[in-house]
């Protein structure tokens, strides 16, 4: 594990609600400060594995294909969304509001409007009402009815709205996942074909800070709160999707994950030559031999994961056969 305080500083910059001056430079420096000496990628035996080892590639996966249905998902706070709908209603009425009746003062009418829109800041009410007085006559009850109708529609469609936003986010982000640990039994089970696959070791610290890999690689922030785009209204759409893809429910924290994120629909991402390949405890003789041959030809060291006979633990040892 690495300095949690340094990671928190990185996340403070990454998840800032507004990008500050030199945001990318500050983010890169903070990232380099927490980048582990080695990162690892658990892999099953698939048709892509030979290409990965021969050509130093990573095959990217759209977020909707990952094992966590919340991956790159997001939400919109219902009350905030509802208040925006209310503001939209006011805007719709801006050019056809109402005449002030002889027996009513502007203050009386404005107080009624404030009651209806109690959650809308007064400065916004003033801006929205602005020049809308003395237009086509419409009574307060008409405005209330319109608001009630829009509120009912919002309640009915809110879930579909958030779902569609999440699906857009999940179909836009393409990911390759790495971890800080190479001896996690659960991860060998989940991502390396029940220990029949391999774990690939990389040393990204050798890369220039301007490289595409370093720029697109980031640790995952674990949280118990869904990513809410309302909190990031000043960030770009791509920023929001990236931040959603880097937010995971804290039950996954044991994975110590880093993610390489691309917004280009591409299959193969060019990485660097692995520094080692680790064989799972249950890898077949045939698969071990074919992978060993590739590694030998490319000068990639191989290691073997072995079960401890004294405790629940994996030992990783240099052993090619």
pLDDT average, residue stretch 11-19: 89
- With bands split at pLDDT 50, 70 and 90, how would you rate the model's confidence at 36? very high
- With bands split at pLDDT 50, 70 and 90, how would you rate the model's confidence at 179? very high
Contact 113, 125 (CB under 8 A): yes
d(CA 141, CA 23): 49
The per-residue pLDDT for 161 is 80
pLDDT average, residue stretch 122-142: 48
Half-sphere exposure of 95 (CA within 13 A, CB side): 1
Cα 219–chain centre separation? 11
And the tokens for 52?
Answer: 């990965």
- With bands split at pLDDT 50, 70 and 90, how would you rate the model's confidence at 5? confident
132 to 113, 114, 142, 259: CA distances (angstroms) = 13, 15, 15, 51
The per-residue pLDDT for 94 is 46
- With bands split at pLDDT 50, 70 and 90, how would you rate the model's confidence at 135? very low
d(CA 167, CA 23): 28
Burial of 291 (0-12, 13-18, 19+ CB in 10 A): buried
User: Is the confidence at residue 93, as pLDDT, over 80?
Assistant: no
Closest by Cα among 310, 308, 311, 254 to 281:
308
pTM given for the model: 0.79
- Helix (H) or strand (E) holding 83, with range, is helix 78-92
Percent of the chain with pLDDT over 90: 60
User: Is the confidence at residue 253, as pLDDT, over 90?
Assistant: yes
- With bands split at pLDDT 50, 70 and 90, how would you rate the model's confidence at 124? low
Average pLDDT, the chain: 83
Q: Compute φ and ψ for 61, nearest 5 degrees.
A: -120, 130
Burial of 198 (0-12, 13-18, 19+ CB in 10 A): buried
The per-residue pLDDT for 258 is 98
User: Is the confidence at residue 220, as pLDDT, over 50?
Assistant: yes
pLDDT average, residue stretch 196-210: 95
User: Is the confidence at residue 319, as pLDDT, over 60?
Assistant: yes
The per-residue pLDDT for 284 is 97
And the tokens for 144?
Answer: 């209330």
pLDDT average, residue stretch 219-224: 96
């Amino acid at each position: 594990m690495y300095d949690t305080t340094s990671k928190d500083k990185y996340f403070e910059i990454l998840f800032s609600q507004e990008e500050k001056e030199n945001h990318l430079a500050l983010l890169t420096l903070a990232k380099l400060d927490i980048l582990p000496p080695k990162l690892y990628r658990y892999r099953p035996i698939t048709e892509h594995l030979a290409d990965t080892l021969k050509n130093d590639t990573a095959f990217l996966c759209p977020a909707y294909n990952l094992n966590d249905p919340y991956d790159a998902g997001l939400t919109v706070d219902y009350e905030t969304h509802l208040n925006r709908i209310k503001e939209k209603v006011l805007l719709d009425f801006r050019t056809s509001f109402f005449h002030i009746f002889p027996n009513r003062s502007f203050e009386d009418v404005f107080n009624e409007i404030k009651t209806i829109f109690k959650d809308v800041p007064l400065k916004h009410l003033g801006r929205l009402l602005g020049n809308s007085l003395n237009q086509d006559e419409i009574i307060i009850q008409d405005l209330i009815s319109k608001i009630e109708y829009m509120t009912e529609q919002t309640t009915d469609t809110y879930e579909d709205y958030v779902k569609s936003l999440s699906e857009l986010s999940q179909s836009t982000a393409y990911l390759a996942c790495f971890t800080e640990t190479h001896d996690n039994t659960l991860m060998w089970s989940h991502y390396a074909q029940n220990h029949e696959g391999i774990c690939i070791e990389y040393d990204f610290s050798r890369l220039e800070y301007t490289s595409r890999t370093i720029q697109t690689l980031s640790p995952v922030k674990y949280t118990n709160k869904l990513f809410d785009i309302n909190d990031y209204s000043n960030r770009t759409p791509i920023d929001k999707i990236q931040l959603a893809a880097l937010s995971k429910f804290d039950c996954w924290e044991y994975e110590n994950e880093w993610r390489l994120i691309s917004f280009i629909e591409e299959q193969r991402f060019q990485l660097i030559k692995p520094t080692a390949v680790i064989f799972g405890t249950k890898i077949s003789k045939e698969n071990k031999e074919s992978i060993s041959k590739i590694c030998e030809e490319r000068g990639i060291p191989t290691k073997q994961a072995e079960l401890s006979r004294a405790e629940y633990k994996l030992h990783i040892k240099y052993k090619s056969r």
